[in-house]
A and B are shown apart, each in its own frame.
Chain A
Amino acid sequence: MSTSAPVAETATPGDLAVRLRGIGKRFPGVIANDNVNIDVRRGTIHAIVGENGAGKSTLMKILYGVQAPDSGTIEIGGRSVSLGSPADAIRAGVGMVFQHFMLADNLTVLENVVLGAEKLHGIGAAARTEILRISDAYGLDVDPDKLVEELGVGARQRIEILKVLYRGARVIILDEPTAVLVPQEVDELFGNLRELKSEGLSVIFISHKLDEVLSVADEITVIRRGTTVTTVEDPSGVTARELAELMVGSELPSPSTDASTVTDEVLLHVENLCLPSKEGRPLLDAISFDIHRGEVLGIAGVEGNGQAELVEAIMGMREHATGVVRLADLDLSTLSTRERRESGVGYIPEDRHRHGLLLDSPLWENRVLGHQGRPPSARHGLIDKGGARRDTERIIEEYDVRTPGPDVLARALSGGNQQKLIVGREMSGDPVLLIAAHPTRGVDVGAQAAIWTHIKEARKKGLAVLLISADLDELIGLSDRIEVILRGSLVGEFDPSEVTPQQLGSAMTGAGENA
């Protein structure tokens, strides 16, 4: 099931709203799409799932005319089309709702909808009639005279959908539409989507939330490493776990293969860590935990519940943090970020472009970053270029960073190779604690497996590892213990060998018994 399978040719061409054949797209250093084949039938919700970096967004940009494919054909409604711009796509009946809404807050719903489409029904009564007609037909419940700034996220999303319908789309692409919604809004959205499909429209739904995909999609296409792995025609016949395995190619790490290396020696001791915020509710609220030598502690949580703040507070990047952070016998609480790093903390930041790299500097200078004060990067206050270059070559070799050499600018590497360089750097200088925030986000599957291996190796070497991830399978696979963070507090502890993603999921949203 995990091997590449051709798309089943069951649908007759007349049924098809979208037919993609052999789509390929290369960027320097990375193949974003390769031989992608997808059939989207009329009147269905077709989900496209795949990991970050699997090539979903590139594919959708191709279908929406933002980028031209290097190879392959696109047929929409049975006609072969070439899409040079989003305007072409809209003319062909393809509309897209982006993850980040494109609405002007200070305009009304009506004004936002007609903006750029004034030629269709004008900007007055005819436009209003049309908006109300669409709103009623698909149950979108939109008031054309409300100001957008008065509306919630769910309503804004419905306006985006309405905008697309207003422009005559018969195929609607939704990019991660549930990422910004709360559960009730997700249910409403799915209701709207079902209305759309009952009217004969086709919805392409991009997501990596597998449970949602299973509940709403009629067909599911899995993309891995830029290519279509398989299309599931009957979602009721697969589980989220099976889908996840398709997405990563049966490479889900399994904790049972590794014997526990947890010792009873506490390496990281965090006690009563608090971080106040200006708005009142603290960003971190009395967080306490220990990580032992050879232990991986996973932190699960819906994004924005304090994970980033927790990491930054431990790293000493948050000025107002209070509480105790102790590394073995050393009290880090009053030390600067640099002193903390130099006392043995390796840090893989969540956003490698903003926090992990100097994109316009060569790799060897990036090797120096964060290690300015110690050999082999520096000596007596001077940067040791020779030493740093040699050590960069070692990292390139040991961590399989695909690059011609250490003098290449970091920007020229693909995300996965940038991340491998960071992992290699942070494992240098004998750390005793590794903080890994979303270590495999946006990297290709090969790099992901490699990074997992390195984290396991770190654990085996006796490091304490703090792992933050939005990927529950990754957390369950790598962690010895999982803590759930919700609104800045730790709300539950789980044993990864017993917990299911569903149980974690409900704890993360505060719906579980541990909340």
Chain B
Amino acid sequence: MSQERLLRLGLAISAPLLALVAAFAITSLVLIAAGDPVGEVWSTILSVPASRNFANIVNNATVLYLSGIAVAVGFRMNLFNIGVDGQYRVAAFIAAVVAGEAWLPGHLNTVLAIAAAMLAGAMWAGIAGLLRATRGVSEVISTIMLNFIATGLVAYFLRKAAVRTPGSNTLATKEIPEGSRIPNISIGDGPGQDLYGFLVIAAVVGFAYWFLLNRTRFGFDLRATGQSGTAAVASGINVRRMTIAAMLISGAVAGLVGMPILFGSAYSYGSTFQSGLGFAGIAIALLGRNNPIGIAVGALLFAYLNEQSNPLQILVGVSPDIVAITQGTIVLTVVISYEVVRRFGIRLEQQAVARALTEPPPARPSSPNEEVSA
């Protein structure tokens, strides 16, 4: 039993490791082909981060983690929510406006703004869910479209809602009053030593995701639908309702993606607000195999690569974009290696079952061939 668990754990870990090794190898090939110093690039990237960089890594990972969880909710139901990117931007904008207006005092304002963000994200994703459930429109297509619409919509309304700070070209919403910000957790003295307070909320979201998916009936329905829509229908699951519910939850979590930045460092939504977080979430959810711990590891890895690649240009004269190649390759290799490991695991299991069954079976209460006695 414990040996079996060990084997499963080993298989679960070997897949992402295999993928990472392959991705690093491919990146090295690119470096070699371009004539860049392979050794120096890796020694820069794989060095131990300074504590200032450490805070950056954790903060960036917090944001990516939420994005990964949002995507993973969809994945567990076989829904490909590519629209996390649009969802978090719409949500962050609305939250910034709500928080900036400060209709409620102090942290009540924070709670209201976060709730507004989740609602906005859920609604934006819900459009795709509704289209899928009622008209069979592929959520891949509709969420991609909605990303473009989100970009335009937010840019348009930002111009209306923005306040112009004198002497600056950037457009941004009203700044969040100090009493409504989320305090940072300091891990050292000096600047750049602060972790987002939202880290705690992200951890809670991770736990809630795990609990909802693995412990509740709703989560079971969601996973069952993801594995086999036909079996789900036969078991009495309303697949349409589950499709909409899964998209709403995925969108609500996506709504949280921009919150650490909004309440922890930016304090307003502007044209420079970090973008592309939703796409990274897809890669991270794949890498973390939709597992809350795995996604955390994936988020940390991506944040680490991002942070460590920054000095590449200065130190070894290589563009930090090389890391984007690594990250992109990881997504490909991860998909392949999971499939390889999955097949291998199934074969192992079938063999184990066959072995267990060729041993003389234990005495059974009744023989299957016996007729029913009257």
| A interface residues (Cβ-Cβ under 8 A, vs B) | 26, 28-30, 251, 257-259, 315, 317, 336-342, 347, 349, 351, 354-361, 365, 368-370, 372-373, 378, 381-383, 397-398, 400, 402-405, 407-409, 411-413, 446-447, 449-450, 453, 456-457, 460
A29-B237 in contact given A259-B374, A359-B228, A398-B365 (Cβ < 8 Å): no
> Which A residue sits closest to B226, measured CB to CB?
A358
Q: Contacts A357-B228, A412-B352 known; list 18 others, CB within 8 Å.
A: A28-B347, A29-B357, A30-B354, A338-B238, A349-B234, A354-B230, A355-B231, A358-B224, A360-B227, A382-B216, A383-B214, A383-B216, A383-B219, A403-B353, A411-B346, A412-B350, A449-B369, A453-B371
A372 to B233, CA, bound (A): 13
- Shortest CB distance B373–A (Å): 10
A404 cross-chain contacts in B, Cβ below 8 A: 352-353, 356-357
A360 to B347, CA, bound (A): 13
A359 to B346, CA, bound (A): 11
A358 to B234, CA, bound (A): 11
A224 to B368, CA, bound (A): 17
Which 8 A-B residue pairings sit nearest by Cβ, starting from the closest? A338-B236, A28-B350, A450-B368, A370-B235, A404-B356, A355-B234, A337-B236, A28-B354
Interface contact B215-A383, CB-CB below 8 Å: yes
B1 cross-chain contacts in A, Cβ below 8 A: 405
- Shortest CB distance A453–B (Å): 6
A340 to B233, CA, bound (A): 12
B236 CB contact (under 8 Å) in A251, A336, A381, A398: A336
With an 8 A cutoff between CB atoms, is B135 at the interface? no
A381 to B368, CA, bound (A): 36
A315 cross-chain contacts in B, Cβ below 8 A: 234
Interface contact A337-B234, CB-CB below 8 Å: yes
Per-residue A-contact encoding for B334-374, CB less than 8 Å = 1, 0 else: 00000000000011011111101100010011101111101
Interface contact A372-B221, CB-CB below 8 Å: yes
B234 CB contact (under 8 Å) in A356, A409, A412: A356
> Which A residue sits closest to B359, measured CB to CB?
A404
> Which A residue sits closest to B368, measured CB to CB?
A450
A69 to B221, CA, bound (A): 42
Interface contact B235-A409, CB-CB below 8 Å: no
A447 CB contact (under 8 Å) in B216, B223, B357, B368: B368
A382-B231 in contact given A370-B236, A397-B364, A404-B357 (Cβ < 8 Å): no
Interface contact A413-B217, CB-CB below 8 Å: no
A449 CB contact (under 8 Å) in B231, B236, B368: B368
> Which A residue sits closest to B241, measured CB to CB?
A336
Interface contact A29-B350, CB-CB below 8 Å: yes
With an 8 A cutoff between CB atoms, is B189 at the interface? no
A378-B217 in contact given A409-B346, A447-B368 (Cβ < 8 Å): yes
> Which A residue sits closest to B237, measured CB to CB?
A338
- Shortest CB distance A269–B (Å): 21
Majority secondary structure, B binding face: helix
A257-B371 in contact given A28-B351, A336-B238, A372-B235 (Cβ < 8 Å): yes
A409 CB contact (under 8 Å) in B214, B231, B349, B351: B349
A450 to B351, CA, bound (A): 25
A369 CB contact (under 8 Å) in B224, B353, B356: B224
A402 CB contact (under 8 Å) in B361, B365, B370: B361
With an 8 A cutoff between CB atoms, is B42 at the interface? no
Within 8 A of A (CB), among B202-231: 214-221, 223-224, 227-228, 230-231
- Chain A to chain B contacts (Cβ below 8 Å), 24 pairs: A257-B371, A258-B372, A337-B236, A338-B237, A339-B236, A355-B230, A355-B234, A357-B228, A361-B224, A370-B236, A372-B236, A378-B220, A381-B216, A382-B216, A382-B217, A383-B215, A383-B216, A397-B364, A403-B357, A404-B357, A408-B353, A412-B353, A453-B368, A457-B372
Interface contact A369-B231, CB-CB below 8 Å: yes
B353 cross-chain contacts in A, Cβ below 8 A: 28-29, 403-404, 408, 412-413
A386 to B352, CA, bound (A): 24
A251 to B353, CA, bound (A): 28
How many interface residues does chain B have, given as a range?
35 or more
- Shortest CB distance B346–A (Å): 6
A317 to B231, CA, bound (A): 11
A378 to B216, CA, bound (A): 8
> Which A residue sits closest to B347, measured CB to CB?
A28
B4 cross-chain contacts in A, Cβ below 8 A: 407
Interface contact B369-A382, CB-CB below 8 Å: no
> Which A residue sits closest to B357, measured CB to CB?
A402
Interface contact B221-A453, CB-CB below 8 Å: no
B233 cross-chain contacts in A, Cβ below 8 A: 317, 337, 355
Interface contact A381-B350, CB-CB below 8 Å: no
A317 cross-chain contacts in B, Cβ below 8 A: 233-234
A340-B236 in contact given A369-B224, A408-B353, A412-B350 (Cβ < 8 Å): yes
- Shortest CB distance B199–A (Å): 28
A258 cross-chain contacts in B, Cβ below 8 A: 372, 374
A400 cross-chain contacts in B, Cβ below 8 A: 364, 366, 368
A358-B227 in contact given A259-B374, A372-B220 (Cβ < 8 Å): yes
> Which A residue sits closest to B233, measured CB to CB?
A317
> Which B residue sits closest to A416, measured CB to CB?
B368
> Which A residue sits closest to B353, measured CB to CB?
A412
- Shortest CB distance A249–B (Å): 10
A357-B350 in contact given A337-B236, A400-B364, A449-B369 (Cβ < 8 Å): no
A358 to B218, CA, bound (A): 16
- Shortest CB distance B200–A (Å): 25
B223 cross-chain contacts in A, Cβ below 8 A: 361
A360 to B227, CA, bound (A): 8
> Which B residue sits closest to A445, measured CB to CB?
B369
A355 cross-chain contacts in B, Cβ below 8 A: 230-231, 233-234
A39 to B223, CA, bound (A): 51
> Which B residue sits closest to A411, measured CB to CB?
B346
Interface contact A453-B346, CB-CB below 8 Å: no
A411 to B231, CA, bound (A): 14
B366 cross-chain contacts in A, Cβ below 8 A: 400
A368 cross-chain contacts in B, Cβ below 8 A: 220
B228 CB contact (under 8 Å) in A259, A354, A408, A450: A354
> Which B residue sits closest to A402, measured CB to CB?
B357
- Shortest CB distance B81–A (Å): 21
Interface contact B350-A397, CB-CB below 8 Å: no
> Which A residue sits closest to B5, measured CB to CB?
A407
- Shortest CB distance B234–A (Å): 4
Interface contact B216-A341, CB-CB below 8 Å: no
A411 cross-chain contacts in B, Cβ below 8 A: 346, 349-350
A339 cross-chain contacts in B, Cβ below 8 A: 236
A398 to B366, CA, bound (A): 8
- Shortest CB distance B319–A (Å): 41
A456 to B370, CA, bound (A): 12
A420 to B206, CA, bound (A): 38
A460-B357 in contact given A315-B234, A358-B228, A398-B365 (Cβ < 8 Å): no
B237 cross-chain contacts in A, Cβ below 8 A: 337-338, 372
A30 to B351, CA, bound (A): 11
> Which A residue sits closest to B362, measured CB to CB?
A397
A397 to B361, CA, bound (A): 11
B365 cross-chain contacts in A, Cβ below 8 A: 397-398
B369 cross-chain contacts in A, Cβ below 8 A: 251, 446, 449-450
A446 CB contact (under 8 Å) in B216, B235, B356, B368: B368
A453 cross-chain contacts in B, Cβ below 8 A: 368, 370-372
Q: Which of A359, A383, A413 has the most CB of B within 10 A?
A: A383
Q: Which of B219, B354, B361, B374 has the most CB of A within 10 A?
A: B354
- Shortest CB distance A415–B (Å): 13
A403 to B236, CA, bound (A): 27
